[in-house]
């Protein structure tokens, strides 16, 4: 499969947050500041790619050969939780400054449904090989980061805007997220 098509489709056309509506909780919760959005994007990218590699291998070398594909979701959740804990332990030992920089973002990734959604889409519902799955996961992570950073920038800008008191906070954030999703729909004719 053409890697460029996978990348463009995952980042713009089928954005994991704005088109598939996966990962909306961190999208709304972590997008108040651009710096936190960038930190979350880095952590999600790392975990999403590694989780996709492991889930691909488990799907194709354990679940399918033994005929237990029905265990896919619970297995993938356990793998993601294990990987997040493993990454947290390794970063704490190897790179304490990076561990401090990521802070609370690593445990939050365990509950990010975008990571599970990408793993299931890349491994279970597509005829991707390992390399295509990794590219798909990385492109979805970049798309997640693009949406998150754009939304964080818009929210920072809205703090300076004169917004009616009934619309301040979450209501205007939902309206803005909807408009951002509509803007990304403009890419739907590309791929």
Domain residues for the domain of 155 are 3-189
Distance CA 1, CA 146 (A): 24
Tokens of 101: 């920089």
What local confidence, expressed as pLDDT, does residue 55 receive? Answer: 94
| pTM for the predicted model, two decimal places | 0.87
- Whether residue 102 has pLDDT greater than 80: no
Number of domains in the chain: 1
Q: Predicted confidence band at 139 (pLDDT cuts at 50, 70, 90)?
A: very high
Q: Predicted confidence band at 1 (pLDDT cuts at 50, 70, 90)?
A: low
Cβ-in-10-Å burial (0-12, 13-18, 19+) of 176 comes to middle
What local confidence, expressed as pLDDT, does residue 191 receive? Answer: 56
Per 3-state DSSP, the chain is made up of helix, strand and coil in percentages (nearest 5) of: 80, 0, 20
- Whether residue 148 has pLDDT greater than 80: yes
- Whether residue 153 has pLDDT greater than 80: yes
Query: Average pLDDT of 99-119?
Result: 81
């Amino acid at each position: 499969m053409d890697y460029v098509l996978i990348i463009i489709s995952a980042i713009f056309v089928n954005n994991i947050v704005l088109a598939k509506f996966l990962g909306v909780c961190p999208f709304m919760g972590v997008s108040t500041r651009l710096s936190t959005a960038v930190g979350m994007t880095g952590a999600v990218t790392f975990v999403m790619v590694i989780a996709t590699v492991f889930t691909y291998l488990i799907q194709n070398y354990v679940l399918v050969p033994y005929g237990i594909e029905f265990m896919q979701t619970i297995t993938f959740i356990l793998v993601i939780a294990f990987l997040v804990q493993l990454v947290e332990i390794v970063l704490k030992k190897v790179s304490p400054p990076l561990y401090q920089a990521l802070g609370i973002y690593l445990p939050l990734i365990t509950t990010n449904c975008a990571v599970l959604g990408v793993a299931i889409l890349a491994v279970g519902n597509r005829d991707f090989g390992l390399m295509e799955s990794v590219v798909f996961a990385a492109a979805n992570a970049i798309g997640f980061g693009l949406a998150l950073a754009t939304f964080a920038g818009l929210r920072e800008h809205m703090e300076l805007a004169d917004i009616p008191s009934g619309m301040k906070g979450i209501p205007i954030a939902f309206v803005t997220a909807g408009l951002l999703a509509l803007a990304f729909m403009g890419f739907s004719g590309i791929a």
